[in-house]
Structure formats: structure tokens, C-alpha cells
């Protein structure tokens, strides 16, 4: 999920979203269709200030949005205080520790309001009194029937009165989880057709790494380092055995080596046989 859309992609999306033809936009803003086409398809095509202002006005977005300086089409200078965000919240959003683009998609989803209302009901205990009153009534009725009517505690009606009592935490856990999963599933489906989203899944990447490792030889650590090198674009095939041995020793000095290698050793990768290009005999460390 990537929010760093280039100018040409933004222009194309703005026009597509409004179901407009290139000629319609060209006529409305006074720019040649060929120029508009170039703006939408050629990242190296220079765009004039006149064209930027005309397109920004036509699409009702900011120039900053069109040229990629901002991801906000309209809201640019909204005062922080109107959002009621604490200093801690702002620092966290700016920390880079979370995917703020995904967060934005979640917040702007049509079902997010329902999620927040359900969360507010739970946090503010708005339904606590009603749930407790209902539970008390059902339990009182059940107890009365057991004591006065000598009812069977395991029959259908007694079990129904017991099952009808609600555990508030369990209930809202289900409700809130349902709300959030509806949002996430919707965003996930949307990403399937998003060209700016990486097509390769983590599982596919892992499978690719395992397949690469099957064509390598050496100790498990050597194989993992070779796969990692291929991910980094390091041409280890051109190393001599001596150079490769020294290279691995350098890698072994890295503090986070084991953490890096774990990502390339998931799944079974035993029994790989092939020869590495290089001069001299292969060595095992």
C-alpha cells in the first residue's frame, strides 16, 4: 500500500474518478489533449504553472497535491487543535512506526463511524446499566422458577434464561471486531486492483526465497546469506572462495545477522545441491 503517487498517476486517477474523457477535460481547462495525455503518462513531461493552476481549479484540489508535495487533495492547513489530537498522538503519527496511509484509509471508510460509536458505547459504559438490568431480571426469573416451581435447571427454558444473559466484554468484543474486520476486508479487496500496491505477497516472497535456496550449496548460514545478497543486489557469484569466506565473516559481525537470516530461512530448505560460480574449490565455513 503506497501513498506516494507520482503526478501522472494522480492526474489520471482524478479524471477516472469523475468518469471524464481526456477531450472533455482538455476543452474545459483550455489545454491540448496531447499535452494532457503527456501529463498523465510521462513522468518526465514538464508541466506549466498555467496547466497546474487550471487542473487544480478544475479538479478542486491543491497544486501541492498535484505535484506530490501533499497527499491531501483539499485539507492542507487544518489547525491541529480542531482535530483534538494530543501531543502523544501527534508524535506517534509522525514517528513512522505505523502505516499512516492505511490508518487514513481505515478512518475514511464508511463503516468507521459505526466502529467508533460502538467503541464509545463500550468505553463510556453507555450500555452497562441496561445490560446489568436485563441480566438481573433474567437471573431473578430463573432463580425464582428453580426455587418456587422446582424447575429442572437443565431443561430448555432454564438454559435459555441462562444463555440470554450477556457478558458485556464478550458482546462488545464481538461487535467491535466485526466492525473492524468489515473495514479491513473492504480495504484488502480494494487493494487487489490497486496498481500502486505490491503484487507479491509475503508468502510468495518466502516461497521464492526457498526456491532460490534450493539452487544453492553450502552450510545453512551460507545459503541464507546468499539469498539475502540476492535481495540486496550483491553479485556474490563473482567472488572467489576466499573472497566469499571473508565476505561471510564480515556479515557474521553484524549484530542483527540472526534476525536478518530468520526472514530467509522460514520453511524447509534442506538438501540443496548445485555449484556456485567462482574460481578455485568451494569452501565450507
- Residues in the chain, pLDDT under 70: 1-5, 7-8, 74-77, 193-216, 221, 231-233, 251-285
Q: Last residue of a domain, which of 191, 218, 234?
A: 191
pLDDT at 68: 79
Same domain, 216 and 244: yes
Q: Assess if residue 28 is contained within a domain.
A: yes
First to last CA, the chain: 40
Segment 96-124, tens digit of pLDDT: 888 988 998 999 999 999 999 999 999 99
Q: Assess if residue 86 is contained within a domain.
A: no
Same domain, 185 and 206: no
Domain count, the chain: 3
Same domain, 173 and 212: no
- Domain interval for residue 131: 120-191
Q: What CA–CA distance (Å, rounded) separates 255 from 61? A: 47
The pTM of this model reads: 0.50
Q: Assess if residue 211 is contained within a domain.
A: yes
pLDDT at 211: 65
Q: Assess if residue 111 is contained within a domain.
A: no
Q: Assess if residue 1 is contained within a domain.
A: no
Q: Assess if residue 250 is contained within a domain.
A: yes
Segment 187-215, tens digit of pLDDT: 998 887 665 554 445 556 656 656 665 66
Q: What CA–CA distance (Å, rounded) separates 185 from 41? A: 31
Amino acid at each position: 500500500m503506497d501513498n506516494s503517487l507520482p503526478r501522472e498517476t494522480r492526474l489520471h486517477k482524478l479524471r477516472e474518478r469523475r468518469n471524464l474523457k481526456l477531450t472533455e477535460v482538455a476543452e474545459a481547462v483550455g489545454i491540448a489533449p496531447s499535452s494532457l495525455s503527456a501529463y498523465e503518462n510521462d513522468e518526465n513531461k514538464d508541466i506549466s504553472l498555467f496547466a497546474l493552476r487550471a487542473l487544480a481549479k478544475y479538479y478542486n484540489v491543491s497544486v501541492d497535491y498535484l505535484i506530490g508535495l501533499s497527499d491531501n487533495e483539499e485539507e492542507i492547513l487544518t489547525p491541529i487543535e480542531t482535530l483534538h489530537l494530543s501531543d502523544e498522538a501527534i508524535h506517534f503519527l509522525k514517528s513512522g512506526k505505523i502505516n499512516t496511509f492505511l490508518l487514513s484509509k481505515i478512518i475514511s471508510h464508511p463503516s468507521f463511524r459505526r466502529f467508533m460509536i460502538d467503541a464509545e458505547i463500550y468505553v463510556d459504559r453507555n450500555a452497562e446499566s441496561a445490560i446489568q438490568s436485563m441480566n438481573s431480571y433474567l437471573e431473578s426469573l430463573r432463580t425464582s422458577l428453580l426455587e418456587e416451581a422446582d424447575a429442572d435447571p437443565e431443561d430448555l427454558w432454564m438454559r435459555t434464561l441462562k444463555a440470554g444473559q450477556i457478558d458485556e466484554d464478550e458482546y462488545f468484543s464481538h461487535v467491535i471486531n466485526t466492525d473492524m474486520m468489515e473495514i479491513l476486508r473492504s480495504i484488502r479487496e480494494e487493494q487487489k486492483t490497486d496498481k500502486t500496491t505490491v503484487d507479491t505477497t509475503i508468502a510468495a516472497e518466502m516461497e521464492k526465497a526457498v526456491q532460490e535456496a534450493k539452487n544453492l550449496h553450502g552450510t545453512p548460514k551460507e545459503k541464507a546469506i546468499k539469498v539475502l545478497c540476492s535481495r540486496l543486489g550483491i553479485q556474490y557469484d563473482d567472488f572467489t572462495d576466499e573472497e566469499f569466506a571473508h565476505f561471510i565473516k564480515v556479515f557474521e559481525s553484524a549484530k542483527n545477522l540472526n534476525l536478518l537470516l530468520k526472514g530467509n530461512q522460514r520453511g524447509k530448505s534442506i538438501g540443496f545441491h548445485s555449484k556456485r560460480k567462482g574460481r578455485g574449490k568451494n569452501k565450507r565455513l
